[in-house]
Amino acid sequence: MASKKHNLTELREARKHWQEPIPDSIELSKYPGYLLRKQAVDMYIDGFGVAQIQKTTGIYATRLGQLIDKCMESGEGGNTLGYCGLLKHTRKISDKAHPHKREFSCLIEGYPTLEAFISGNYFGDKK
């Protein structure tokens, strides 16, 4: 049986309402990692022991608690992140709260040579 850091009855009830991310929205290279994290969380909620979860998914008990906490966090509008919390770099802050946060990314996308220039100057590999 899994450790009792989290209330399994509450987790089972909450899981019924967890939304999953749209598969097409996940980078192909990150999808297998997401599936392992989801499997580990589901196994924990279903009552598997942490040793079995680690053996099956490779995810340690210390990380498992963090993953469950991410699933239980609130996202935009106060909704629980659910399985979307298992995606790496999931942000809880909406774009409306920080309208300028993507400006640098847009600048880099608009000027592809700028990325190489900045990288070269920063790492001393000028091109």
Q: pLDDT per residue over 80-90, tens digit each?
A: 889 988 986 64
Domain hosting residue 72, numbered range: 1-92
pLDDT digits (tens, 9 = 90+) for 44-74: 999 999 999 999 999 998 899 999 999 998 8
Return the CA Rg of the chain.
19
Which of 65, 59, 54, 53 lies closest to 11 in space, CA to CA? 65
Regarding whether 61 and 116 lie in a shared domain, the answer is: no
Task: Note the pLDDT of residue 1.
Answer: 44
pTM over the 0.95 mark: no
Half-sphere exposure of residue 121: CA atoms within 13 angstroms, side-chain side: 5
Regarding whether 100 and 87 lie in a shared domain, the answer is: no
Regarding whether 117 and 84 lie in a shared domain, the answer is: no
C-alpha 80/C-alpha 71 separation (Å) is 7
